[in-house]
Amino acid sequence: MKKNLTILFLLLIIFSCKEKTINISKDITFDKQMDVSYGNDFEQKLDLYIPKNTQQNKNLFIIIHGGGWKAGNKSQLTYFILSMMEKFPKSVFANINYRLASENRFGIPNQTDDINRVILFLEKTLKYKPNIILLGNSAGGHLSMLYSYKSDGKANIKAIVNIVGPADLSDPSFKNYYDYSFVENHLVDSTLLSKGISMENFASPVYWINKTCPPTISFYGNNDQVIPLSQKKILDSVLNKNQVFNQSYKVSGGHLDWNNEKNAPFVINSISEFLNQIDKNKTP
């Protein structure tokens, strides 16, 4: 059955590239807009998927890809989004690219600014303020948390879905990351550190956590050689200390195995249950 669904989704990707709709099933159809510009930079593009024939699409998933802050593309998560559409047929999905870091361009604040720009663009495009769920993997998970936690509750973020994202850049275990020198030298514009905050703290989501932070669900690989499991323990501890509603899970495998045939259904179902709990907690 799973193999048949995989084949179906691959065919949808191949044959619907030029179509303006995606038919997930008889009852699930999305309007599709590809490579929409939300800024003037050529990397500031997004793919937008809006449920057809429904007005109950208040939830907006903003999907943020990984790639070590300096690589990657939104296309990496297209298949995952198609799977998410089955589970969340009344939600809007925006799959975004953002300005990548390089030796000549810092990732932050550009990348968190791009998330903010996307939110403002989508609110204008949709003509209402949706409940925003930031979902990112690896660097995208980090950016989802950093943007949300630093907003100090001002952003309309319903929840964060952090998938194998680093939460504490000062963690000694994370410093074994093979490209940590790039993180040290090119992730953060040092002019932002005028208040005496170290780069590691400034760019660490856990440093900004307080009681106003949005609910957070996280997934980490039990054999991840890029993001160590110590990151899960640190993040859980700080969220719990600040009484932020959160859940976290270990999935089997390495850094990219969260999205394989075995783990992806568990990840998606866990996200659904988590969001249902948030909705129940808000109900009087």
Q: What is the mean pLDDT of residues 44-53?
A: 94
Residues whose CB falls within 8 Å of the CB of residue 19, separated by 6 or more in sequence, listed in order: 32
Give residue-wise pLDDT tens across range 108-148.
Answer: 999 999 999 999 999 999 999 999 999 999 999 999 999 99
Distances (CA, A) of 35 to 2, 12, 69, 74, 103: 29, 17, 20, 10, 26
What are the DSSP E strand ranges found in the chain? 21-25, 28-37, 45-51, 59-64, 92-96, 131-137, 157-163, 216-221, 246-251
What is the pLDDT, as a whole number, of residue 93? Answer: 98
Contact 181, 175 (CB under 8 A): no
Whole-model pTM? 0.92
Nearest to 31 by CA among 16, 10, 11, 43: 16
Q: By the 8 A CB rule, do 1 and 8 touch?
A: no
Specify the 3-state DSSP secondary structure of 171.
coil
Q: Is pLDDT at 37 greater than 80 in this prediction? A: yes
pLDDT at 10: 52
Token digits of residue 184: 């040290």
Closest C-alpha to 274, from 212, 216, 231, 205: 216
* 8-state DSSP, 102: B
Q: What is the mean pLDDT of the chain?
A: 92
Count other Cβ atoms within 10 Å, centred on residue 7.
10
